[in-house]
Amino acid sequence: MEKEQPSQCEHLARIILSAEEIKNRVEVIAKNISDHYRAQEKTGLVVVGILRGAVIFMSDLIRQISLPLTIDFMAISSYGGSTTTSGAVRILKDISESIEGQHVLVVEDIVDTGLTLNNLLDVLHARKPQSLAVCALLNKPSRRKVEIQVDYCGFEIPDEFVVGYGLDYAGHYRHLPYIGVLKPEIYR
């Protein structure tokens, strides 16, 4: 029997990535990660998810990674109720275990200006992991203010404010199984 598609949330102008497209891409990224770490004989992967936006992506991603791994989480200050970033990073919740000597993979929802991740990577580097890599579901390269190496990227998207699949506006829309552009009147 054909599975019923979830109807589009009425606050969205349009869907840019369907649940199916996301699922397929997550499988490919997870395979790339598994292949890379296995080929480099990097064992003991620690996947650090950035709360709260990366939670949905990370939970789907790690279930497709065929390597031994542990998970941890960090929460840093981000957008709140507006749609522009200050770049200032405040650690609201830190990881629970030491990452010294570990292979660390940071999982982010989206890299926009890059300021948040740049600051976060400085913090993590100082803790002396053996390797540090970044996996971001979405990337808006046109908005970049600082150079960031995104080792594993899901999709490059244009400069539009998107929600769904973990990404929010004022705390809402994270549960949507797809990613879409919010109608401008919602945040105006």
- Kindly list the catalytic residues: 112
- What is the Cα–Cα distance from 18 to 73, expressed in whole angstroms? 26
Query: Does residue 173 contact residue 9 with C-beta atoms inside 8 Å?
Result: yes
- According to DSSP, residue 169 is labeled B
Tell the smallest beta-carbon distance from residue 51 to ligand 5GP (Å): 10
Tell the smallest beta-carbon distance from residue 138 to ligand 5GP (Å): 7
Residue window 98-117: x/- pattern of binding to ligand 5GP, with contact defined by CB under 6 A: ----------xxxxxxxxxx
Residue 139 contacts ligand 5GP per CB under 6 A: no
Residue 74 contacts ligand 5GP per CB under 6 A: no
Stretch that binds ligand 5GP, among 7-15, 29-37, 92-100, 158-166 (CB under 6 A): 158-166
Near ligand 5GP in 34-73, by CB under 6 A: 53
Tell the smallest beta-carbon distance from residue 115 to ligand 5GP (Å): 4
Tell the smallest beta-carbon distance from residue 37 to ligand 5GP (Å): 24
Output 155 or 161, the one with its CB closest to ligand 5GP: 161
Under DSSP, is residue 10 helix (H, G, I), strand (E, B) or coil? Answer: coil
Query: Token digits for 66?
Result: 């065929």
- What is the Cα–Cα distance from 11 to 160, expressed in whole angstroms? 15
Phi and psi based region of residue 95 (left: phi greater than 0; alpha: psi -120 to 50; beta: remaining): beta
- What is the Cα–Cα distance from 149 to 136, expressed in whole angstroms? 10
Candidate residues 45, 47, 162, 176; the one interacting with ligand 5GP per rule CB under 6 A:
162
Return the axis-axis angle of helices 19-39 and 55-62, rounded to nearest 10°.
60
Instruction: Enumerate binding residues for ligand 5GP (CB under 6 A).
Output: 53, 78-79, 85, 108-117, 161-163, 167-169
